[in-house]
Amino acid sequence: IKCEQPVREMCPAGLHRIERACSSRALPRCEHQVFDQCQQGHPLVRLCGDLASRQTCGVCRAWDRAEKAHEKDRAKDAREMEEVLQRHAEQAVKRVDHDVEAAERLRLDAQAELAQLSKKHAHRSKERERELAGHLDRATLDAQNAVRQAEIDLEARRQRDEATLHARRAEHARQLQAAEERMAQQRAEQRQLAAADIEKRDEEMRSLAKALAANLASDEAEIAQVNADRANPVEVNRQLEHVRRTAKQVQCSICFDDLTILDGLLCAPINGHFLCNTCFDAHVVAEVGKPSFDGHVHCPVPGCNKPFPGHVVARHATPATFDALKTKELALRETENNRKMQQEFDKRLEEERKKLQQQAQHAAEATHIEQARMHIVENILTLKCPRCGQAFVDFNGCMALTCSRHGCGCGFCALCLEDCGTDAHAHLGMCQYSTGEVFGSFEDFENAQVRRKQRKVKEYLDQKPMELRQKIIQACATDLRDNGIKIEQS
């Protein structure tokens, strides 16, 4: 079966695209007009494939016709001269026996007739020259008009081609601008989200710092209130001295001296251990100096370990010892607050690191999704030559396609787009997607391409992880819908 559907290729001169029968390798004559000169240097417009028309032009043909007509006129003039001379020669022969006067008259008649004939020939030659000049002027004018008209046609074609090219460039620029705007919008949204997160974390840190400062102020106020609540030492000593004279004697659990109950304190109201003020003060100093001090002063008697309340310590310890105790307690609170702040800071720092890592993962994922979308659009959804990559949209009815790019000439299948060398007709009999028919309608071609695109998209998506596959499908939803492709989202 010979395919007679037309395919487009470059003409032998490499200047224009021409059509040939699909099954024929011979190129037809190029019918596009080109500017040229004949062998005599006259301008002409000829068909690109008609090299023989360079031999002569309209001016040359008009000149040749005039030359031929002039040759005919010269031959006719010569015949007329010959006839006149022949006739007078015959008359002279007939009158050879007559007198001289008759012969002279005959000679004069012959000369007169020849002179008249010469004038006639000269007039005819002038008329022919004027006619030749008119033909040459008309032929030259026709050639100039043809050249001008061809220039006008070529300029109009150039303007149409430039308008088409500008339209394609504008469309490509619009698509690139839209892609850049989408990416810029995504980056702006990511920056806004990051700035909002940072502002939120800063606000939380400020709130934490305010709470810690409030706690420290509360502790300092409590210490100041405790100091303010302490009684006047002179009055207390006077009253204690009075009570001491009447109080009963008790023994200190550390120094074992017998003293009154007012000279020390008990660790508990009932059955408590007695410590004198001197031993208690020394005990407080020793407790404060321990690295393991936790802020509380406990009873030193083995097995007891009861804590002394803060107001009791303030009443029975010396001011220097109590100040040292409170300084130590404040240092312990600051250490604890610093530890809590460090833990909170480390926690928020870890959260920030995880968020930044997630943002980086999202950005990398977005880049990968965009690359996958561009791969699907450029390499699967766009119809193009499998060898040189030139995109195409036309279909002429034959399933054996040929690339029209100059220098490529790839023959490929319209069903699977496989590179078949220079001719894809033999492949159609073996193609697994072929129905056995070489020809088909544009609807058949479109349906075959929808099936091929859907098959290729599914094969490409099967290589991606499930969670990434769904995002790629969502990113390509518009492109897939425009191409009539449906991909099930599982």
Distance, in Å, from the CA atom of 333 to the CA atom of 222, rounded to the nearest integer, reads 13
Distance of alpha carbon 71 from alpha carbon 128, whole angstroms: 11
Task: Write out the H or E segment, with its range, that includes residue 165.
Answer: helix 100-229
- pLDDT at residue 489, as a whole number: 63
Percent of the chain clearing pLDDT 70 (strictly above): 92
pLDDT of residue 490 exceeding 60: no
Dihedral, 466, 471, 474, 480 alpha carbons, nearest 10: -60
Q: Does 313 have pLDDT greater than 60? A: yes
Residue range 449-477, pLDDT digits in tens: 888 888 888 988 888 888 888 888 888 88
Main-chain phi, psi angles of 442, to 5 degrees: -65, -30
Q: Report the b/e string of 393-402 with b at 16+ CB within 10 A.
A: eebbbbbbbb
**pLDDT at residue 98 greater than cutoff 60:** no
User: Is 117's pLDDT higher than 80?
Assistant: no
Is a pLDDT exceeding 50 seen at residue 186? yes
Share of the chain above pLDDT 90, in %: 2
Helices within 400-439 (DSSP H only) = 425-428
Bridge partners, residue 398, by sequence: 439
Q: How far is CA 273 from the centre of its chain?
A: 86
Global pTM exceeds 0.75? no
How large is the average pLDDT for residues 61-75?
Answer: 78
Separation in Å, CA 477 to CA 441, 448, 470, 481, 488: 28, 20, 10, 6, 11
Q: How far lies 346's CA from each of 188, 202, 338, 342, 360, in Å?
A: 29, 14, 12, 6, 21
With beta carbons less than 8 A apart as the criterion, state whether 337 and 215 touch: yes
Asked whether the predicted pLDDT for residue 111 surpasses 80, the reply is no
Q: Is the pLDDT of residue 5 over 80?
A: no
Mean pLDDT for the stretch of residues 324-334 = 86
Please state which of the ranges 64-73, 222-231, 304-313 shows the lowest mean pLDDT. Answer: 222-231
Tokens 């020849």 belong to 114
Q: How confident is the model at residue 410 (pLDDT cuts 50, 70, 90)?
A: very high
Q: Which of 420, 419, 425, 422 is nearest to 438 (CA)?
A: 425
Contacts of 292 (CB under 8 A, 6+ apart): none
Both tokens assigned to 293: 């001090």
Distance from chain centroid for Cα 482: 19
Q: Which amino acid is at 233?
A: P
Which has more pLDDT, 90 or 274? 274
Say which range, 244-258, 283-297, 428-442, has the weakest mean pLDDT.
Answer: 244-258
Q: Give me the mean pLDDT over the 146-159 stretch.
A: 82
pLDDT of residue 252 exceeding 60, the answer is: yes
The C-alpha atoms of residue 275 and residue 371 are separated, in whole angstroms, by 82
What is the structure's pLDDT at 1? 47
Binning pLDDT at 50, 70 and 90, where does residue 332 land?
Answer: confident
Tell me the domain boundaries of the chain. Answer: 53-148, 225-337, 355-482
Average predicted confidence (pLDDT) for the chain: 82
What is the pLDDT at residue 322? 86
Alpha-carbon distance of 474 to 467, in angstroms, equals: 11
Residue with tokens 């509380």: 296
Three-class SS state of 419: strand
Please report the DSSP string for 82-114 in residue order.
Answer: HHHHHHHHHHHHHTTTS-HHHHHHHHHHHHHHH
Map residue 269 onto helix, strand or coil.
Answer: coil
Residue 26 has pLDDT above 50, yes or no: yes
With a cut of 70, say whether residue 314 has pLDDT above it: yes
What is the predicted pLDDT for the residue at 93? 65
pLDDT of amino acid 238: 75
Average pLDDT of 49-53?
A: 68
- Could you tell me the pLDDT band of residue 94, with boundaries at 50, 70 and 90? low
- The model's pLDDT over 160-172, given as tens digits with 9 standing for 90+, comes to 878 888 888 888 8
Q: Give the H or E element holding residue 9.
A: strand 6-10
241 CB burial (10 A radius; 0-12, 13-18, 19+): exposed
Under the banding of pLDDT at 50, 70 and 90, the label for residue 295 is confident
In the beta sheet, which residues pair with residue 264?
276
So what's the architecture of 225-337 in CATH?
2-Layer Sandwich (3.30)
**What mean pLDDT do residues 13-23 have?**
76
Can you point out the beta strands (E) in 162-233? none
For 413, which DSSP code? E
Give the pLDDT score at 230: 64
Segment among 33-47, 113-127, 178-192 with least mean pLDDT: 33-47
CB neighbourhood size of 312 (10 A):
15
Phi then psi for residue 434, to 5 deg, are: -85, 145
